[in-house]
Amino acid sequence: MPDDSSATALPPVPMQFTASQRDRAALEALARQARADLERINVPPAAWMLSAESATDASPVLDVLVAGAGMCGQTAAFALRREGLTNIRVVDRAARGEEGPWGSYARMLTLRSPKQVGGPELGVPSLSFRAWYEAQHGSEEWQALHKIGRIDWRDYLLWVRDTAGLAVDNGVRLRSVSHAEGGRLLSIELEAPGGRRETVRARQLVLALGRDGSGAPRWPDFPSLRRDDPLAAGRVFHSADAIDFAALEGQRIGVLGAGASAFDNAGCALEAGAAEVQLFARRAHLPQVNKSKAASSHGFLRGFEGLDDARKWRVYTYIFDEQVPPPWESVRRCDAHAGFTLSLGTPWLDVAPDEDGVSVTLPNGGIERFDAVIFGTGFDVDLLDRPELARYTPLVDTWACHVPPEEAQRHPEPTRFPYLGAGFELRARASGAPDAAAALSRMRLFNWGATMSHGALAGDIPGLAIGATRLAQAIARDLFVEDADRHWARLQAHDEPELAPTRWYVPPDRRERP
């Protein structure tokens, strides 16, 4: 920890809170205004899609299934509606209000983004978070707000969903994906509460499965630790786990990691009454500069996808190597407690749970004893960890196939990111079967796994609107092109006589043909 003399010179931490008071009447009035605004700009526009040729009343075909109704999935669905795509379905395995991390494993007090960022409103002012907040608390309170409360953000997302009329089937899990008709149609197995299974057919699938939706939580490997060890239950956690922090009262907790989630979990444990929390980082000092902020301008977010592979690789391997510092508010949240200790330059060599606690082996040969430990080690990107896509993952093209071997060896984690097309579609390696390749092109990855190909458009709030709009427009384009001949037939059959109310109207049988 810094010495007390330097700490006294630090600026005060602005007031932070996870949730503000709700004014239901004000929100209902704002919702009416927002719906009127949507109508004024003709959202949603008239539906234009043709039914799939193999669709029947007994066996319908969705144009798009969106798997995941968190921030990304919800905004993708809204963007699809704005493109006139109405034959869509949105599912999420969680209960209403538990989609995404905001009400579960996100343990920060406030969002890490500036309060002015937009995204879920897709440019409609009355759907913005600022409008939502000011409607309830006024413009002066908005000006005084430091950052957006985490629970406020969750509740705002639900309000946008309801106001825009975005239906979500909660409690429905994506289980598996296969294909039919030579890859022209996806067969998607879903599981509802109680284990009830259903299979739906869809022409396009948006995989908006969250931060871990293209991999899994990153569990460090230690010689004495097995994830299924019963002794680890209740003592060894990942920051993405459900943790009963109240049960940690009076205990000594070890946290591994130097990022935001590590500090946020340490802060939760301290606020719950943990006697001591010791946070360990392998670096000699914390990362100091968030390079991602320089990659969040509209120009960067819109233009990154157009870069060549070498420049894309250069940008994000640099950002990943520099790492993102924890927000200063999260650091101060921990430093405010006398029981907090930060041990820099101290990686863990082993983690061994037993009946009485957890032993952590340090590089100097010493052993620290804790009642419980938390890994704040983030998430891996590796589609091999996603059981829903098991039949396709060996075929998925990744960045490993697009960089020199020496670069792949230097940066093994970025090589596992999927190599996506311009519309977020998965691509097959050159050796993939044609029907499987066609099926993959109908699966759009809209989460953190898209970062190496598109930049931070599917997970970080600043790029969300750009990403969702790009995704929806790509789907609309591809569906139209696929049905081009049928749209041509519709064009020829179109017969709406404009001049019928005039004396110059000519009936069809009297018209001269060119």
Structure tokens at 442: 């109908």
Average pLDDT over residues 71-98: 97
What band does 72 get if pLDDT is binned at 50, 70 and 90?
Answer: very high
Judge contact between 51 and 61, C-beta under 8 A: yes
Pairing of strands 252-256, 276-280: parallel
Report the C-alpha gap between 358 and 263 in whole angstroms: 20
Return the half-sphere exposure (C-beta side, CA atoms, 13 A cut-off) of residue 74.
Answer: 28
pLDDT at residue 446, rounded to an integer? 97
Residue linked to tokens 């946290």: 255
The alpha carbon dihedral of 35, 41, 44, 47 has a sign of positive
The b/e string for 263-290 (b: 16+ C-beta within 10 A; e otherwise) is: bbbbbbbbebebebbbbbbeeeeeeeeb
Q: Of residues 54 and 68, which shows the higher confidence score?
A: 68
Question: What average pLDDT does the chain have?
Answer: 94
Burial of 12: CB neighbours in 10 Å, binned 0-12, 13-18, 19+: exposed
pLDDT at residue 213, rounded to an integer? 75
Average pLDDT over residues 325-342: 97
The listed CATH number (2.40.70.10, 3.40.50.450, 3.50.50.60, 1.10.10.10) that belongs to domain 219-286+326-377: 3.50.50.60
Give 372's DSSP letter. Answer: E
Note if the pTM is more than 0.85: yes
> Phi/psi at 69 (nearest 5 deg)?
-120, 30
Average pLDDT over residues 197-205: 97
Report the C-alpha gap between 212 and 482 in whole angstroms: 32
- Beta-carbon contacts of 346 under 8 Å, excluding residues fewer than 6 positions away, are 280, 281, 282, 362, 363
Judge contact between 78 and 206, C-beta under 8 A: no
Return the half-sphere exposure (C-beta side, CA atoms, 13 A cut-off) of residue 352.
Answer: 11
Report the C-alpha gap between 260 and 292 in whole angstroms: 14
Q: Which secondary structure element, helix H or strand E, spans residue 370, and what is its range?
A: strand 367-370
The b/e string for 120-138 (b: 16+ C-beta within 10 A; e otherwise) is: bbbebebbbbbbbbbbbbe
Cis bond upstream, residue 412 (ω within 30): no
CATH 3.50.50.60 domain locations along the chain: 219-286+326-377
CA distances from 367 to 119, 126, 151, 330, 353 (A): 47, 56, 38, 27, 12
Q: Which secondary structure element, helix H or strand E, spans residue 253, and what is its range?
A: strand 252-256
Find the length of the chain. Answer: 514
Report the C-alpha gap between 58 and 227 in whole angstroms: 45
Report the C-alpha gap between 440 and 204 in whole angstroms: 10
Q: Which secondary structure element, helix H or strand E, spans residue 303, and what is its range?
A: helix 298-303
What band does 5 get if pLDDT is binned at 50, 70 and 90?
Answer: very low
Report the C-alpha gap between 494 and 292 in whole angstroms: 50
Least confident window among 4-18, 392-406, 454-468:
4-18
Report the C-alpha gap between 306 and 477 in whole angstroms: 18
pLDDT at residue 301, rounded to an integer? 96
241, 242, 246, 249: CA torsion to nearest 10? -20
Model confidence pLDDT, tens digit, residues 105-156? 999 999 999 999 889 999 999 999 999 999 999 999 999 999 999 999 999 9
Identify which of 75, 132, 123, 48 has the alpha carbon closest to the alpha carbon of residue 467: 75
Model confidence pLDDT, tens digit, residues 162-179? 999 999 999 999 999 999
Judge contact between 208 and 77, C-beta under 8 A: no
Judge contact between 447 and 214, C-beta under 8 A: yes
Judge contact between 277 and 340, C-beta under 8 A: yes
Distance of CA 155 to the CA centre of its chain: 17
Model confidence pLDDT, tens digit, residues 244-265? 999 999 999 999 999 999 999 9
Q: Reduce the DSSP state of residue 422 to 3 states and report it.
A: coil
Angle, alpha carbons 84-451-331 (nearest 5°): 115
Structure tokens at 120: 């879920």
Model confidence pLDDT, tens digit, residues 270-323? 999 999 999 999 999 999 999 999 999 999 999 999 999 999 999 999 999 999
Q: Reduce the DSSP state of residue 404 to 3 states and report it.
A: coil
Give 307's DSSP letter. Answer: S
Model confidence pLDDT, tens digit, residues 437-491? 999 999 999 999 999 999 999 988 999 999 999 999 999 999 999 999 999 999 9
Report the C-alpha gap between 92 and 277 in whole angstroms: 35
3-state secondary structure string across 175-222: EEEEEEHHHCEEEEEEECHHHCEEEEEEEEEEECCCCCCCEEECCCCC
Going through 1-138 in order, the beta strands assigned E by DSSP cover 61-67, 88-92
Structure tokens at 100: 């995404």
pLDDT at residue 295, rounded to an integer? 93
pLDDT at residue 65, rounded to an integer? 98
Average pLDDT over residues 58-77: 96
What band does 1 get if pLDDT is binned at 50, 70 and 90?
Answer: very low
User: Roughly how many angstroms between the first and final C-alpha of the chain, as a whole number?
Assistant: 85
